[in-house]
Amino acid sequence: VASKLNSSGLLRTQGLIGGKWSDAYDGKTIKVYNPATGESIADVACMGGRETNDAISAAYTAYRSWSKTTAAERSKFLRKWYDLLMAHKEELAQLITLEQGKTLKESIGEINYGAGFIEFSAEEAKRVYGDIIPAPLSDRRLFVLKQPVGVVGAITPWNFPLAMITRKVGPALACGCTVVIKPSELTPLTALAAAELSIQAGIPAGVVNVVMGNAPEIGDSLLASPQVRKITFTGSTAVGKKLMAGSAETVKKVSLELGGNAPCIVFDDADLDVAVKGTLAAKFRNSGQTCVCANRIIVQDGIYEKFANALRDAVLNMKVGDGFSEDVAQGPLINEAAVQKVESLIHDATSKGAKVILGGKRHSLGFTFYEPTVISDVNIDMRISREEVFGPVAPLLRFKTEEDAIRIANDTNAGLGSYVFTNSIQRSWRVAEALEYGLVGVNEGVISTEVAPFGGFKQSGLGREGSKYGMDEYLEIKYVCMGNM
Ligand code: ADP
């Protein structure tokens, strides 16, 4: 696969600074691995503070002209980039499966979803309207202009190597900002391929820059620079808090998409098939490695046994294997640390009375493959209910009343994704309004789309991505008062 990708010109291993593919100053590299085989795929440039400062300078220079292009021009560039991403769907999807491990079908899904943010941004670029405000004095005229915020630092995780970048870079470019992207060191190849296509789309040098390597050093350079006016981040809550604190020094605008602890509430009055299918999708997508994956499946007494059995049967049918193999529903976890976290959460839960009803151990395929798992009799005090699992484990909790369900669901510092399964319209409204979450899926397990706002309440983050609201994150509001008219 890698050699085929090489001939397509999309297998890039250097950083992109001011339109030039560049090595690290000291020539250092880091290896990228295929989690399904443990094999190394590529050595990519391992950059740090100096290269990041170069990238910031390039982005700052490019900002002067890019921010002055018309919305229609930026829209055309973004549209071209979208077309190229879609034209190279197969290669990009292979790259994702290669470095991240998700199934090829899911990788194709990520290209459609991820490229969708570029397409949507191309359209939305033309709709950044200002306002005219009726003046309180007759000789004045009051206007509101929306202007790009400036150079943006975008730091992204490994679980969606393309989409977490495009949902930031699309609106940033559409608004007239330029970007320095720092993809995860575990999955830089997709980011670099997407950057290569941005060049092929004619997006001017310095508008899109990519550096990777020493994450804390790169992060510190982005934070320290007064030229970087915005940090947008998807990743762990711990790193997000550091970036927010570090942004204070230069008072940067901040958007954060952090960890979740999604409740998935199944009421007695739910349609069993819909609830099982929705839970399966919400839980096991990307082997459970998304920030909106169902983390606690909270099931009402009357349907608990039936639901547990039906979910176990459905999970039993999921084939585990290399994401490139046919019929595989679940690939490996990203790395050994991810498997160890799952093991320790299951150990904690079972030591406190939870029961493994399916899986509960490493898969015989070895490496970082883990058996799709269902555990019952979980309660709110177990670590698995308090921490993000980020793995293929469905923990079942039992509840009696609607009030109980809402209390359990909201009993967390996180507030990103949530799911409700019920056939009662009244209940679905009541519960959707009571959940302290940024996203609520009612009778649906996969709800994310570029046309809707994505973001968290509480410690799950700040700001929204996607939709018209996602544009605001990259805009400053300027009030202009014309007097003595
Ligand atoms: P995950 O658990 O998803 O890997 P992280 O928050 O560790 O979450 O990683 C998300 C992104 O943040 C990655 O690109 C990672 O390299 C980056 N990162 C990690 N530590 C820092 C840091 N101190 N400063 C800036 N970026 C960081």
User: Where residue 8 falls among pLDDT bands split at 50, 70, 90?
Assistant: confident
pLDDT (tens digit per residue) in 101-153: 999 999 999 999 999 999 999 999 999 999 999 999 999 999 999 999 999 99
Calpha distance 428→405 (Å, rounded): 13
Reading the block at residue 254, the tokens are: 């901040």
Mean pLDDT of 28-44: 97
380 CB-side CA count, 13 A: 14
Query: Are 431 and 422 a contacting pair, CB within 8 Å?
Result: yes
Mean pLDDT of 48-57: 98
CA angle centred on 50, ends 44 and 51, rounded to 5°? 40
476 has a pLDDT exceeding 70: yes
How many other C-beta atoms are found inside a 10 Å radius of the C-beta of residue 302?
12
Query: Are 148 and 176 a contacting pair, CB within 8 Å?
Result: yes
User: Where residue 95 falls among pLDDT bands split at 50, 70, 90?
Assistant: very high
Shortest-distance Cα residue to atom 4 of ligand 1:
157
Q: Find the catalytic residue in 99, 110, 196, 257.
A: 257
**pLDDT value at residue 107:** 98
243 has a pLDDT exceeding 70: yes
d(CA 162, ligand 1 centre) in Å = 16
285 has a pLDDT exceeding 80: yes
Reading the block at residue 43, the tokens are: 């050595």
Please give all residues whose beta carbon lies within 6 A of any atom in ligand 1, as ranges: 155-158, 182, 184-185, 215-216, 219, 235-236, 239, 242
9 has a pLDDT exceeding 90: no
**pLDDT value at residue 1:** 67
Share of residues in the chain with pLDDT > 90 (%): 98
Shortest-distance Cα residue to atom 23 of ligand 1:
216
2 has a pLDDT exceeding 70: no
pTM of the model: 0.98
370 has a pLDDT exceeding 90: yes
d(CA 236, ligand 1 centre) in Å = 7
Residues near 284 by beta carbon (within 8 Å), at least 6 away in sequence: 293, 315, 318, 329, 330, 372, 392, 394
Here the ipTM equals: 0.98
d(CA 158, ligand 1 centre) in Å = 9
Residue environment code for 444-457, b if the CB has 16+ CB neighbours within 10 A, otherwise e: ebebbebeeebbbb
Mean pLDDT of 165-191: 98
Shortest-distance Cα residue to atom 17 of ligand 1:
215
Q: Among 239, 255, 340, 387, name the best residue to mutate to test ligand 1's pocket (greatest count of ligand atoms within 8 A of Cβ).
A: 239
If you average pLDDT over every residue of the chain, what do you get? 97
Q: Among 100, 184, 339, name the best residue to mutate to test ligand 1's pocket (greatest count of ligand atoms within 8 A of Cβ).
A: 184
Active site residue 257: yes
Q: Which of 42, 125, 15, 146 is nearest to 81 (CA)?
A: 125
Q: How far is CA 457 from CA 279, 339, 468, in A?
A: 22, 28, 19
User: Where residue 72 falls among pLDDT bands split at 50, 70, 90?
Assistant: very high
